Amino acid sequence: MSHYVTADLHGCYDAFINLLQKIDFQPEDTLYVIGDVVDRGAEGIRLLQHIKKTPNIILLLGNREVMMRDALTSGDNELWFYNGGMITFHRFSRLSLEEQTEIKAYLKELPLFLDVTVGDRQFRLIHGCPMADENDVENSVWGRPDPANVFFTDKTVIVGHTPTMCYGDDCHILHGKNIIDVDCGYVYRGLLGCLRLEDMREYYIS
């Protein structure tokens, strides 16, 4: 039984399936996807549906899911469309009313962060940046942490959202002082990164 973390799939369904094959993902394993499944790529809805029906894949809120959830709830698409949500909205519009209702309900159930213990290590999984106010949704999904910061003394933070190339990395998983960034910028022609929590083994899809 293994625990894996990835993030920022951005509608890249085929790469995700290739990743599952590469890690030899089994029913007894758990995969945490730290947000931003939708937008940019064309298959965000397909990814949402795949993850939703797979009990051992757990999705957390990213800024993309928050914008989608809020737009579908309020009917105000301006922010979502401004940030590239139109491709996801068009795919969503093609679904049956039943499928649309299921996805909206699923988005409302997604956690903002998770605390996970694997072996003798504790992790805080969150898309953007851990906040003192754990109900601060905006900064939790949009914030960009400094990898040199220490956010907790008893757990390691694992994030997505900010491609590691933005920190000067070469598109591989970034290990900071108290933070690990697994967004390797696949949608920007980087890599799709995945981390196994038991031994910190890294996997990549190019």
Task: Give, for all 206 residues of the chain, the pLDDT tens digit.
Answer: 999 999 999 999 999 999 999 999 999 999 999 999 999 999 999 999 999 999 999 999 999 999 999 999 999 999 999 999 999 999 999 999 999 999 999 999 999 999 999 999 999 999 999 998 999 999 999 999 999 999 999 999 999 999 999 998 689 999 999 999 999 999 999 999 999 999 999 999 99
CB atoms within 10 A of CB 134: 12
pTM of the model: 0.97
Q: What is the pLDDT of residues 12-35, one digit of tens each?
A: 999 999 999 999 999 999 999 999
How many Å from the N-terminal Cα to the C-terminal Cα in the chain? 26
